[in-house]
Amino acid sequence: MGVNLNDEYLVKAINCRVVPVAGYVMNVCNLRKGDLEKLDKIVKTALRKQGFHGKQANDERLYAKRDDGGRGLKSCKEVYDETKVRVACYIATSNNEWIEVLWRNEYMKEQTSLKRVAEEAMGRMNAHVEFNVGEIKIGNESYVDWHVAWKKLKNIIRKGQIRNKAETFREKRLQSEIPMGFDKDDHGWLKCNTDPRKTASIFTLQEQMIETKAWKKMRGLVDQDKCRLCGEFRETVQHLLAGCKKLAGSEYVRRHDNPLKVLAVQWAIDNGLLPKGTKWYTEKWERKSNCK
């Protein structure tokens, strides 16, 4: 975590160097849901200690693809499902006598059966799949080549995971209120050279996980969530950024003026009116009025 990487490459490094270590164990061991949650928690705790993930930040967005407004981290729970389905595909359709004996023995098990684990994983993706001896049934179609079956199942898994994360996130009304209104073009900044701490801070703002009165009411800390400045509307991040009348004449005006100051100073430098290296915030600006 001490490596100086931007947010995108930090997540890629974790996906390539950290998560696969757990993947080796998943090939041969059955892990419980609690075990997988502990593995994910280890990664999230390390990120939070460095300020790379907000304390109240949403996990669904942490694991969602960057094209969908997430950060692209691999979840151990999702990797476990993919691993078990892939191994079941290979063993179920193998022609090797030793592997066939192993697979038939799987049918005698109950809770720990690889067949059952793989079928339940596909059930969570809303897909009916049966791993039989010598074939795999996906809906009404049968497959005997494990490569073909796995390619189809992998596509179903990826789509199902995206759908499940979106549905879970949508149920968190306060956190999803702002991000769910974004278009795909709004997520382009997630692929830029952004510092992980800044990314975490922006996500915290977007998900309204700072201590506004709406946040406190959601947790039962206050009885009402009206803005403490204007007293008219819910005190959400969205309201404070653009909807509070008390801030309209000061903070909103300053936020509007500062980008214009940046452009004005750069224009003056380009035209030789100010020396190179002049900072926009060091210049004194006089307020002019056209009214006489």
Lookup result for tokens 């990120």: 47
pLDDT exceeds 80 at position 128? yes
pTM for the full model? 0.73
Q: Residue 289's pLDDT is what?
A: 55
- Per the CB < 8 A criterion, the answer to whether 208 and 236 are in contact is yes
- Band of residue 105 on the pLDDT scale cut at 50, 70, 90: confident
User: What is the Cα–Cα distance from 173 to 282, expressed in whole angstroms?
Assistant: 42
Per DSSP, the three-state class of 172 is coil
DSSP conformation letters of 79-148: HHHHHHHHHHHHHHT---HHHHHHHHHHTT-STT-HHHHHHHHHHTTT--EEE-SS-EEETTEEE--HHH
Give the per-residue pLDDT at 287: 61
Over residues 206-233, the mean pLDDT reads: 86
Whether residue 51 is found in the same domain as residue 122: yes
Give the structural domain span for 103.
1-179
Whether residues 68 and 154 fall in one domain: yes
How far, in Å, are 37, 47, 246 from residue 40 at the CA level? 5, 11, 43
Q: Are residues 11 and 49 in the same domain?
A: yes
Residue 158 above 60 pLDDT? yes
Element (H, E) at 150: helix 146-171
Q: Does 286 score more than 80 pLDDT?
A: no
- Whether 3 and 115 map to the same domain: the answer is yes
Q: What is the pLDDT of residues 226-272, one digit of tens each?
A: 998 898 898 888 888 778 888 887 777 787 788 888 898 999 999 99
Q: Are residues 173 and 95 in the same domain?
A: yes
Same domain for 115 and 203, yes or no, is: no
Banded pLDDT at 1 (limits 50, 70, 90): low
What is the count of structural domains for the chain?
Answer: 3
Asked whether 43 and 13 are in contact (CB, 8 A), the reply is no
How far is the C-alpha of 76 from the C-alpha of 40, rounded, in Å?
A: 6
- More confidently predicted of 248 and 198: 198
Amino acid identity for residue 8 in this structure: E
Cα separations (Å) of 100 from 85, 104, 118, 239, 261?
A: 17, 6, 17, 62, 73
CA distance 124 to 75: 15
**Co-location of 146 and 271 in the same domain:** no
> What pLDDT sits at residue 153?
96
pLDDT (tens digit, 9 = 90+) per residue, 15-74? 998 888 888 888 888 888 899 999 999 999 999 999 999 888 888 899 999 998 899 999
Q: Are residues 139 and 242 located together in one domain of the fold?
A: no
pLDDT at 13: 93
pLDDT for residue 109: 67
Nearest alpha-carbon partner for 83 in 117, 45, 46: 117
Read off the tokens for 19.
């998560």
CA-nearest of 67, 56, 73 to 7 is: 73
- 254 and 113 housed in the same domain: no
* Residue-wise pLDDT tens digits, 169-189: 888 877 887 787 788 888 888
One domain for residues 222 and 255: no
Same domain, 101 and 233: no
Residues 237 and 278 occupy one common structural domain: no
Tell me the average pLDDT of the chain.
Answer: 87
**What gap in Å lies between CA 82 and CA 76, rounded to an integer?**
10
